[in-house]
Every structure is written in C-alpha cells, then in structure tokens.
Structure 1
Amino acid sequence: MSRLRVTPAHGQGRDRLYVSLRDGTTVAWYDKDSGRVSVLSGAGREEVLSALAPYLTGEVTVGPPRVPTPADLDRLSLHPDDDLAPNRPGEALHAELDAVRAAGSDWSSGSSGSSGSSSSHGSLLWRRWRRWRQDPRQDPRQAELLAQETIGDRLDRLEDAGWRVLHSIPLPGAARIDHLAIGPAGVLAVRTLPARKRRVGVADPLVRVGRAAPVPHLRWARRAAERASRALAADVRPVLAVAEPARLDALPMPPDVRILRDTEIPALASLGGVLKPADIESLYATARDRHSWLRV
C-alpha cells in the first residue's frame, strides 16, 4: 500500500489534487488547470506520480513549485477580512436574505411579532417574511441573486482563458460592483440585470425590463466603472450583463457600455491584446484588497 494519499481541493478558481503523507504532510500537488505537478524538496518524484497516475489527464509538467510573483506575495499578505476573493456572486444579497430568514425564524418561535408589542417597522418585516415564507420568489432580491449567480458563474469560467474575477465588491456609500473581470481584453465592471423571460429595451441611459418603469442602469454601470478606474488606476470599461432575457433591444448600442446577454459572456475568452498576464495578476492583487476601494 502506498504511503501517500491524494485529496481533492477546490477554491479561489483552482482545481487541485494534494498528495500527502499519512500524517497529513503535503509533499506535492497537481494543478489540473495548468497541467503541472509541483513536487516539494525531499519528496519522491516517481512515488508522487504513481499516486497521481489515476487522476492525470493529458500531458503534464513536473518540477518544484514555481517562485511566487510579487502579486502572489501581496495576496498571501492580505488579512482574511480584507480579501475580497472569497466573495460569492451576490454576497451582499446572500447576507440580506439570510437575515430575513433568521428574523423570520425568531418571529415564528414567538420571540417577536406578537400582538401590540411590535413596532410598525417590525410588523412590516413580519408581513414581508410571511409573504416570503409562502413564496420566496416574491422577494425581488431572490431574482437578483439568481441573476448574479448566473452571470458570476459564466464569468468564473473565463479563468481558464487567463481572466481573474471578483464578485460583490463593496464601495463607500453602500454601493457595490456586482462583478469585476480582469483579463487579456482589459478590466470590466459588470452590472447584472435580471430579466428572466422578459423583454429588455435600452434607450440610453434608461433600461426597461418587461412592463416595469425604465431605470438608469447604464448611468449606474458607467459610475461603477469610473470608481473602479480610480481604485485601480487603470482603464475600466462598463458592462451591462442581462440574465436570460426573452428579447434584448439595444439599438443604437451605447458606444461606451458593452451590453451582453449571459450567453454571450463566454465569447470574451477569445478577446485579448490589452493586458499581459503580469498586468492581470498585478491588477487582481490590488482589486482583491478591500482597502483599495475605501476612497472611491
């Protein structure tokens, strides 16, 4: 029986297999995306490859771990509370909806919402929670969250093409950038628009979804890109990503805002010519630091 064991790990846009001794000491890892097996000093190369053999696909390179770049070192020095990379798409909405569920749980157990003792605000929250409990889809935040998850998933898949993606970046004043994508085609500040099975009409700067009143989404998208440009000291292009529209009418197309259906996001992988890999990593290291966004 081999003295090595193989354990999968997922996170930070990476898919890896770690090889460790029985006592848990890591001796090597296989990065599936790059096709590289990194073997630590003192580990047996052939034994590591033998343990990984059932999992290796295609050609792989084998060698010591690469020397970290300055961007790698910057990321390693970040305090977990200041690192935005772990944020999920719609992170803020997750927190809001979790709070609604928690408050509703308290009310349903009898700790709040009883006759006469609730404030008018508490009564309003109680009614909203009751409606949400009967049909969670009635809460517009649920549709917004689903849209952000749809767009976020599409953007995350660009990482194989050399992109770096962050989600739900907090800005001063309670504003947020839904997604920030940094890749060979440049830096994109992406605003999500939920439009499941509804018609979307664009008349710059207004956007109408279905029969709802027009909303200045393009103005907000431009504003988010401007703030991101100041934070990163780089050119940032605004993008409006429309999730699952039945129809999208945007003629004439705004010259400065890219409007994409969710199904068109994968096409970004074929674009390039703006940023080199080192530039992408440097901008990503800056963008994932919460402090970079405090004064924009």
Structure 2
Amino acid sequence: MSGTVSTRFSSLFTEQLGPSREEIKFGVMAVLIFIAGTCLYCLSYQVWVAAITPNLTRTAALSFREWGVWLPLTPLAFRMFRNLDARAPWHQQTLAGVALAFIAALAPTAIDQLTGTRPVISSLALFWPRFVAMALVIYLLWRVLLRRAPRASIEPPATAARAQPSRPETLLVSKGADQCLIRLSDVQHASAAGNYIELWAGNQRFLVRSTMGKLEELLPPSDYVRIHRSHLVRVDQIARIRTHRSSNGTVHLRSGHTLPLSKGCRAELLGHNQELAAGMDSSR
C-alpha cells in the first residue's frame, strides 16, 4: 500500500514535466514575500520586545535556512495541486500535502544535522507541523488565485469517442471451387442470391456468403447506393436510369447489366448524385 501511494505521489512531479511560468513566478514571489514578512516580524521583535540591536543579516539567513526550501517547492506544489484537482479525491490531495510537507522538512533537518543544532526527531517535530500549515496555505493560494474554472468535460460523446473501424480493402470470395481476394473498390454491383451475395467485379461473377446489409457496411457510402432491397451498385457504373409509370424503374449499367429500381430507393439514388437526374430517360 505504501509503495503504491509513494509511486502515485512521485508521478505527480514527473508527469507533464514542470509548472507553468505563471506558477513559477507566483510561487517564488509568494515565498519571498513570506520570508520578507518573517524577517520584518523578527526584526520588530528584536527592537520592541527583546530590546536588542536588530541583526538583519543573521535574521535573513535564519529565515532562508528555515523557509528557503519552499522557493523551488511552491511552484512544484502548484503543479501537483493542478494535477490532483483533475483526477484525485480530497483524501489523496490531503495525503499529497502532508507528504510534501515532510519532504520540505527534510531540508532544514539536514542543515540541523550538519550544524549539530538539534537531533533528527526534534528537527522533524519542529518543522513538519509548520510545513503542513505552509502546504495548506500554498493550497489555498493556488485554489483562490491560480485555479482555473472547472473545464467542461473533454470526453467526446460516446458515438464520437469510438474510433471508426477502418474499412477492409479486400474481400474473400468464391469463384467456382476456388477462393480468391478481390478489391472492394472493384465491385461494380451486388445482388442478393439466397444465403449468398452475387458480386460483379471486373465483369466477373463471384459469390460470398453474407447479407446485403453487411456488405453495405463494408463499402464506402459515397461510392455505392442501394437501388433495391436485393441490389446495390457503384454510382459511377450507372449508365442510365429508366422510370416507369409506377415510379419503379430499371438501372442500366455500363457493363450491360440491367437491374430493377424500387420506388423507395429511387429518391435516395437521385439524391445521392444529382447529376444522374439530368441523364434520366423517362418512359411515362
């Protein structure tokens, strides 16, 4: 469990590397203002309470020793909170803030060890609670001043999110006792024949076990059109359309084949390619 939490927390600093310029600028300025405020407080205490000569250099050095680690950490904290805001529940955000404070407390603790100021436990007991409060202040600053308004969901609609399946370029068909591959773009027209479909490609006849609906899904709708419940043709293979008094008709193909045109498909055919209307030969 602890390994998983550690991995998630560390990934917040490595995913989408680095804070934005605004986060760096605002983070550094906020820490510098905070350090300046602590210096001013300490100098005022020396003058008005302790009644000693204020020592600006020593006061600034102590302030930077204790709080200087937040200069690089604050922009990173802003970036971390931005990542968490989009995907993590509140308890993970709290855990991340406490962990951040612990990491920050390691810096002054290490300095204490190098200078022999106090034991490790004492240093952590001193700095960690302060830095938890600091992390809370940083979070509030980010939430009030830097957090963007919640974005509208970027998830596309379910129908758009699904990648459109790529259409196959070839189809396995039967020719007599043999099987072969033909290019779907070579199909001139297709007709239902029981449990099979009769395909004409390159003026040759092939059979495939399928339905007209399934075949229609494989063919680009811009090139093929249904002219009857049992017939489908390639638009550029149509030579002439002849209509009858009943509004049914026949479609004459360049290959010499003649296919029936149903009343329900006639409007769709003409709407599919308006140029066909100019070449209609009506025999009312």
What TM-score does the superposition give when structure 1 sets the normalisation length?
0.23
Q: Whose helix proportion is higher, 1 or 2? A: 2
| RCO comparison, higher one (Cα < 8 Å, 6+) | 1
Q: Whose strand proportion is higher, 1 or 2? A: 1
What TM-score does the superposition give when structure 2 sets the normalisation length?
0.23
